[in-house]
Structures are given as C-alpha cells and as structure tokens.
Amino acid sequence: MAVRREKKRKYLRGWRTHGWGRVGQHRRSGRKGGRGRGGMRKHKWTWVVKYAPDYFGKRGFTRPPELVPEHKCINLKQLDELVGELLRKGALETAEGLPLVDLPKLGFSKLLGAGRITRPLYIKTLYATERAMEKVEEAGGRVEVLRGAA
C-alpha cells in the first residue's frame, strides 16, 4: 500500500507555480482585493472599522501658510561662537554688568537649547525654549523674552 508522507523540504524549487494553482493566480493585485488601500469602503470595510477608524473624514485645521510665523532660530552653541566674535570686535553693549545680546537686532527670533554656553550673557529674544533659558541661567546669565515662551 502506498503511503503519503510530508515533504522533506520546505522550498518548492523548480515548481512552476509553487502551490498557487494556475500561473496568474499569485501574480498581480487581484488576489489581494486591490492595490494598496483600494476597496476600503467595500470589501475591506471591516478592516477599516477595526484598525483605522479615523481613515475617512476630515479632521483638524491647517492655518494658511502666510499666517504661520517663521522663526529664524539660533542654538546656544552658535550663539556662544557669535558672541565670541562680537566681543573681539567690541560690538556688544552691557546691561546689568553682562554683555547684552539683542537677538532680533542680529536677525534671530528664537533661542534654542542645543549646545553649551560658556559665559554669562544678558539675552533679549522674542521666543526661547525652556531648556535654553535654564542653560543660560545656569551659566550665570539672564534671558528676557519679549513675546512669550514658545
């Protein structure tokens, strides 16, 4: 009597269709129900309900680009290098015994906290991150925010 045993190898090397029937049945997107997210309102609706309930409909609001403020930012590391050059030239005023750095006059609107600052400074800026303000105060300086913390 003939006995059917399981195959000893996993891969179907040299087999024309590797268990997918006729040649075209495993080829294009017809077997998957469409390309990509096709059929989301039809035969893939149950998937949408379970995994992507917010897929359809509008959500949120986008401000017009001309109304979104564009900040010219500077990091503490870059500011430290810039202040070094300005001190060598003698282009900085002093306030409260500290070198006064007026960022809007230098063309910057926001102070960011990347890097270290090596000297105490009095900095005037329109916007500053909390981390930047902390680092300046740790170095013995002061930050005056003219608009508000961003």
Pairing of strands 122-125, 142-145: parallel
Using the structure block, give the residue that is written with the tokens 């902390």. Answer: 134
The answer to whether 121 and 144 are in contact (CB under 8 A) is no
46, two tokens: 């149950």
pLDDT tens column, 97-119: 899 999 999 999 999 999 999 99
Q: Does residue 150 fall inside a structural domain?
A: no
pLDDT at 150: 53
pLDDT tens column, 117-126: 999 999 999 9
Please check whether residues 109 and 86 belong to one and the same domain: yes
For 3, phi then psi, to 5°, come to -115, 130
The answer to whether 122 and 144 are in contact (CB under 8 A) is yes
From the DSSP assignment, how many helices (H) and strands (E) are in the chain?
4, 7
Instruction: State the residue range of the domain holding 40.
Output: 30-60
Q: Does residue 140 fall inside a structural domain?
A: yes
**Total residues belonging to the chain:** 150
Using the structure block, give the residue that is written with the tokens 């077997």. Answer: 31
Q: Does residue 118 fall inside a structural domain?
A: yes
Give the residue ranges of the chain where pLDDT is below 70. Answer: 1, 12, 148-150
- Domain with residue 122: its CATH number is 3.100.10.10
* Angle, alpha carbons 119-101-133 (nearest 5°): 65
CA 145/CA 118 separation, integer angstroms: 20
Please check whether residues 95 and 56 belong to one and the same domain: no
Please check whether residues 46 and 99 belong to one and the same domain: no
pLDDT at 109: 94
pLDDT at 1: 66
pLDDT at 148: 59
Nearest to 56 by CA among 72, 44, 69: 44
